[in-house]
Chain A
Amino acid sequence: MIDKIQWAKSMLQATNLKTIIGLFLTFGAIIIIWKLPHFLSLSNTPAVRELSTVAQCDLTKGACYAKLDEVEIALSIEPKSFSSLKPLHFTAEINGLDATEAILDLQGKEMYMGINQTSLTLAPDTRVWSGVTELAVCTTGSMIWQASIIARENDQTTPIKATFEFVAQ
């Protein structure tokens, strides 16, 4: 008789445990299903807002422009003969956006050339960001590079990106 009571008690405890786990998992599933649209909308948020370059542009002749709505970026590089392993001074004027951070990202157009990022510095009381870097690769022949200026107002806003192309030896 006592054994039967013990058995009934242990069955009741096991059933209770299963019920608790079941409730816990159901609650978790409801939370995830409730939050899923939010997660999906996050992943659908564009990583960057891409600016379009204005007309044909040749950085060896002067500044190039890119625009999206009210935001405009003008990029120039000095000196105007672009060679690997020689210092290049990049200047980006960013209008229509109160950027607090701007970086220059250099990539090969047709091949991966490593990570070449430079943090640009804002000149006081201006919208002009600049930095010195180089095409830090020892390569054979000339190739097309892409210089992207990526800027943003703060951590919460979507960064903007303008990409310009140039050929370097």
Chain B
Amino acid sequence: MKNNTLSTLRTLLLLTLLLLVGLAIAFMLRPSNSQSGSLMKLGGDFTLQSNNGPVSLSDYRGKVVALYIGYASCPDVCPTALAVMTQAFRNLSNESVDQVAGIFISVDPERDTPEKLGEYTRFFSPMITGLTGTKTEVDQVVAQYGAFYRKVDMPDSAMGYAVDHSSRIYLIDQTGKLYKTLLHNSSPNELLEEINKLLDSDK
């Protein structure tokens, strides 16, 4: 009799515990309000492949990073953005050069191998590192930075396909946090000004 009572009590306790855990999990996992009237937080660390092996954003801790997401066969906007970055980097003071880096992430890993990206970015500036990864890895970074890309078939073109994509320069501070995004049409001087603001704030 006593054993039965204890067993019932144990079952009740277990069920209550499960109920509490279930309710707590459901409450914690409830959908967040994405239209809360505040800007969504973007950015964050990632690890992708360069021609010299894996590279993480956290490897650049202490440096200001200018990041661009595109692809090497991109006809105009990517070269323009990389040229803006290159020119801004050239105008850095001698003591600032080591505190700044550029990253170009390709959303076209099918065509852009790390080796190809190494050559592509070297053409612009040795300060820019070309990175890519598996589709899943690239998609993760694209989502983190609020970017987008989409393959567009071009059967009449020798390219076979193009990639529609976001075109922004993401400026990341020395702690790895996204400081701001610059418009595609920003001039090298505007980019340099923002980089110098970050470098000055760290002094």
On A, residues with C-beta under 8 Å from B are 18, 21-22, 25-26, 28-29, 32, 36, 39, 43, 47-48, 85-87, 101, 103, 105, 111-117, 119, 132-134, 136-140, 150-152, 159, 161
Given A101-B37, A152-B37: A137 touches B166 (CB 8 Å cut-off): yes
Given A18-B9, A39-B27, A116-B146: A138 touches B74 (CB 8 Å cut-off): yes
A137 and B74 within 8 A (CB): no
Q: How far is the CA of A133 from the CA of B17 in the complex (A)?
A: 51
A138 and B164 within 8 A (CB): yes
Nearest neighbor of A42 in chain B, beta-carbon distance: B30
A114 and B148 within 8 A (CB): yes
B window 1-32: CB within 8 A of A: 6, 9-10, 12-13, 16-17, 19-20, 23-24, 27, 30
What is the 8 Å Cβ interface bit string for chain B, positions 59-83, against chain A (1 contact, 0 not)?
A: 0000000000010001011000000
B183 and A115 within 8 A (CB): no
B185 and A115 within 8 A (CB): no
Which B residues touch A22, using CB under 8 A? 9, 12-13, 16
Which A residues touch B148, using CB under 8 A? 112-114, 137
B13 and A18 within 8 A (CB): yes
- Interface of A, secondary structure class, is mixed
B9 and A86 within 8 A (CB): no
Q: How far is the CA of A117 from the CA of B180 in the complex (A)?
A: 11
Which B residues touch A115, using CB under 8 A? 40, 42, 146
A-B contact count, CB below 8 Å? 97
B37 and A150 within 8 A (CB): yes
On B, residues with C-beta under 8 Å from A are 6, 9-10, 12-13, 16-17, 19-20, 23-24, 27, 30, 33-40, 42, 70, 74, 76-77, 142, 146-148, 150, 152, 162, 164-168, 181, 183-185
B17 and A25 within 8 A (CB): yes
Given A18-B9, A103-B37, A161-B35: A139 touches B42 (CB 8 Å cut-off): no
Given A87-B183, A112-B148, A114-B146: A25 touches B166 (CB 8 Å cut-off): no
A134 and B39 within 8 A (CB): no
B150 and A111 within 8 A (CB): yes
Which A residues touch B10, using CB under 8 A? 18
Q: How far is the CA of A140 from the CA of B33 in the complex (A)?
A: 32
Given A114-B148, A138-B165: A133 touches B40 (CB 8 Å cut-off): no
For the complex formed, measure the closest distance between the CB of A135 and the CB atoms of chain B, giving whole angstroms.
Answer: 9
A28, A115, A159, most chain B CB atoms within 10 A: A115
